[in-house]
Amino acid sequence: MGLKGKFDKKKPETSANSTPQMVTELEQLCGNDNGTYEALIHTMFLDPRKTAMPSKEAAENAKKHEKAKNDLMTKTWYEIAGGLAIYEGDTAKVVEYFSKIEKLFPDAKYAILKNPEKAVAKAREYYKKTFKE
């Protein structure tokens, strides 16, 4: 008989309605506001406490790499600075850092810039609930 019969077993089919979907804490907080959820899921850190620097220091690193013409590191450090600014609740810095990336890299688009105040407020709510701040 060999191994063929062993791997031919069909897995039970499940309908889309019967499979429970996991909803993250961030999705719950954003509710039906998909725009805010999408803006945050691509920019915020789930646990920024593990990063041992403030957004200002990350932005300084980005500027150093910008002067050195190191595009990848420039973009990476500005994204880190923006993510940390979200955690810090500094909407002005969030706008500054992500706008800088869009200016330097025209193909880069950040949904968080559409409504940064709302996104930062939701992120703060997430952090407060998750970390009991």
Task: Give a yes or no: residue 122 inside a domain.
Answer: yes
| % of the chain with per-residue pLDDT over 70 | 83
Residue 63 lies in a domain: yes
Distance CA 80, CA 31 (A): 26
Within a domain: 14? no
Cβ pair 30, 41 in contact under 8 A: no
Report the predicted TM-score, pTM, of the whole model to 2 decimal places.
0.80
Identify whether 19 is part of a domain.
no
User: How far from the centroid of its chain's Cα atoms is residue 6's Cα?
Assistant: 43
What's the number of domains the chain is made of? 1
- Asked if residue 53 belongs to a domain, the reply is yes
pLDDT digits (tens, 9 = 90+) for 31-85: 999 999 999 999 999 899 898 899 999 999 999 999 999 999 999 999 999 999 9
pLDDT band at 12 (very low <50, low <70, confident <90, very high): very low
Backbone angles phi, psi at 69, to 5 degrees: 60, 35
Domain residues for 69?
Answer: 49-133
Is residue 55 within 8 A of residue 86, CB to CB? The reply is: no
Q: Tell me, what DSSP letter sits at residue 3?
A: S
